[in-house]
Amino acid sequence: MRESVFEFGYGNGKIAVALPEAKIINNVVGKPCPAIADIPSAVREALRNPIGTPPLKEVVEPGDKVAIVVSDITRAWVKFDQFLPVLLDELNDAGIPDQNIFIVIAPGAHRLNTEEEFVILCGDKVCKRVAVANHDCHNQDQLVYTGKTKNGVDCYINRSVAEADKVILTGGIVHHLMAGFGGGRKAILPGISGFKTIQGNHLFCMNKEVGKGLNPNCISGKLEGNEMNEDMIEQAALAKPDFLLNAVFTPENQFARFVAGHWHEAWLAGTKMVDDIYGVPVTAQADLVVSSAGGFPKDINLYQGVKTIDNAYMATKPGGVVICFMELPDIMEPAEFSNWFNYPTMLEHEMALRANFTIPGFLAYRLLDIARQISLIIVTKQENAGFIRKAGMIPAATAAEALAIAQEKLGREDYTITVMTAAANTVPVVR
């Protein structure tokens, strides 16, 4: 049988795998997309010709105190330092001096960022021009109440942002395995919300019925009917942001487009472009999906690798097999993720998650849930085998070993294959 060779990222290298062409029904790759050549011009164009609002210069008024919400260090890939200076210049031209502008770093429930990380995120020149401060979701004195959502979540947000004359949200838009898409309203929730508010929203990721695990509506690419997303939108509306500037990226993580304007309408336009680039149509789910995160740093640990596994799972038939190449040199990091695998049963894990929801706990549960529905084979370093088994998966040292295990699990020769060499970023969409 004729074979095609595919290269799967593995740490800083690649693993070549020959697969039978006749069995391959999908090769999932992101859509080629040109990178923006002149970033400042593209940002100015977006700010001056926004979606759903007048231009930024007409939204703000001279003398306004303006808050700019910026994501935390876990979103450094957004490269805020490359577009924040243009945003500040536009505000200056509209009669807002630097001393009337302040940036709030929005870590949600993540740790607070350091001043060195402020510089990494915003750039040295921006940090010297305007005040930059952390939002602290645990500091009650820093929070103000904005209302209650229809599903009963009390909304608390950063007081400085709430008291500003104008609020501008920034961020990057990508698929999100819980909220459907990142960016947009996430600058408010979880970004600058109180801890109890964040917990109340994130619990929508759990099934309404105790003992049934996760909510099937809270998945990558889904917005309508996604209770977590819908609650986020309600909370963002209560915060009344005045403007948004979000970025969309090419598969090589270069700027593809800036969307600006109404905090929801402009963001929705950005999600459509993300879906166009990364939402890859597939003819059908396959019996076997062969995948990788794309190498370092996306396979540095299992915590980072969950998104890869989740995307590969979406391309797999019920009861099928996924092979995933991930080196995982720091497989036990972070501890707040790996410690969640110590629960003896899924029910105990679920109950602990309902009592104290955390993103690492959710991702651990999600991984275990996937591993009990399909055969999940991880090609990784041999020393990782014990933890891979503990997490409900099957370790393999080589591609040949993984393919042999897959053949045994499938138990037949006429199986279909989908290839996902960049599964961390590509979301299969069954048409």
Are both 10 and 156 inside the same structural domain? no
Are both 26 and 43 inside the same structural domain? no
Q: What per-residue string of b and e applies to 70-96 under the rule 16 or more CB within 10 Å gives b?
A: bbbbebeebbbbebbbbbbbbbeebeb
Report the distance separating Cα 235 and Cα 328, nearest Å.
37
Are both 45 and 22 inside the same structural domain? no
**CA neighbor of 269 nearest in space, from 260, 281, 278, 277:** 260
Are both 17 and 45 inside the same structural domain? no
Q: Report the CATH number that the domain containing residue 419 is assigned in CATH.
A: 3.90.226.30
Q: Is residue 56 domain-resident?
A: yes
Residue 397: what pLDDT? Answer: 97
**CA neighbor of 231 nearest in space, from 178, 175, 302, 282:** 178
Are both 412 and 291 inside the same structural domain? yes
Q: Is residue 265 domain-resident?
A: no
**Long-range contacts (CB closer than 8 Å, 24 or more residues apart) made by 380-387:** 380/325, 380/326, 380/327, 380/328, 380/331, 381/327, 381/328, 381/329, 381/331, 384/328, 384/331, 387/302, 387/331, 387/332, 387/338, 387/341
Are both 46 and 23 inside the same structural domain? no
239 with 248: CB under 8 angstroms? no
66 with 90: CB under 8 angstroms? no
Are both 157 and 10 inside the same structural domain? no
Are both 337 and 378 inside the same structural domain? yes
Query: E strands within 159-216?
Result: 166-172, 175-176, 180-181
CB count in 10 Å sphere of residue 14: 16
275 with 301: CB under 8 angstroms? no
Structural domains of the chain, count: 2
Q: Is residue 270 domain-resident?
A: no
Domain that holds residue 48: 39-249
Q: Is residue 26 domain-resident?
A: yes
List, for the chain, all residue ranges whose pLDDT scores fall below the cut of 50.
none
Q: Is residue 80 domain-resident?
A: yes
Are both 23 and 159 inside the same structural domain? no
Q: Is residue 269 domain-resident?
A: no
Maximum separation of any 2 CA atoms in the chain, in Å = 72
Are both 12 and 44 inside the same structural domain? no
Residue 31: what pLDDT? Answer: 86
Are both 291 and 381 inside the same structural domain? yes
Q: Degrees (nearest 5) of the Cα angle 357, 106, 293?
A: 65
Q: Report the CATH number that the domain containing residue 195 is assigned in CATH.
A: 3.40.50.11440
Record the tokens describing residue 91, joined without a space.
């505000």
Q: Is residue 273 domain-resident?
A: no
**387 CA to centre of own chain:** 25
**CA neighbor of 80 nearest in space, from 172, 160, 167:** 172
Report the distance separating Cα 84 and Cα 90, nearest Å.
10
Residue ending a domain, choose from 249, 266, 292: 249
Q: Is residue 115 domain-resident?
A: yes
Residue ending a domain, choose from 195, 228, 249: 249
Are both 289 and 154 inside the same structural domain? no
CB count in 10 Å sphere of residue 211: 9
